[in-house]
Amino acid sequence: MDADPVYLIVALGNPGPEYQFHRHNVGFMVGEELRRRHGLARLRSRFRGLAGEGAMAGRRVVLLLPMTFMNLSGEAAAQAVRKHRIPVERILVIHDEVELPFGDVRLKEGQGLGGHNGLRSLEQHLGSRDFWRVRVGVGRPTGAGEQSCSGLPGPAQDPKGGPLE
């Protein structure tokens, strides 16, 4: 299996229970669901984050949830890239996207970063923005009080009301 190419999936979010259900953490939520559905090993502390290895769709993957906070996530991803010698075209980043309506999902390769600090950190540490992205729509906050001073919106809400679970 060592000769098989390794793919890196980086699910972006912020660590800590206070951010667990924030819309900004949808990357962590999707990453954990992928881990569960594909039976990847339990995530353990590696690469300045939580990482697990296994197979998805017949491909060898490393799933990484950086524990560095969003704006430093490139540090964690770069460690995994160096360890596994993963080229940028085999990196998939899952992140929140305020420019998409809640629940919309889009796949994108390279191009602009849309002001996303996590993507900016990845570009800085990987030396490229040509990685693949799964953009998960969380919509824009609707009220002035919904955006905290740290730039994080409140807990993600299902359009029907109630927290996103």
Q: How far is residue 101's CA from residue 106's CA, in Å, rounded to a whole number?
A: 11
Tell me the DSSP string of 95-118: EEETTS-TT-EEEEESS--TT-HH
CB 139 within 8 A of CB 101: yes
Check if 95 is active-site.
no
Among the listed residues 22, 24, 95, 116, the single catalytic one is 24
User: DSSP 3-state helix, strand, coil percentages of the chain (rounded to 5)?
Assistant: 30, 30, 40
d(CA 156, CA 151): 14
Rounded to an integer, what distance in angstroms lies between the CA atom of residue 127 and that of residue 129?
7
Residue among 138, 16, 14, 7 nearest 63 (CA):
7
Tokens of 144: 């002035």
Query: Would you name the residues annotated as active-site residues?
Result: 24
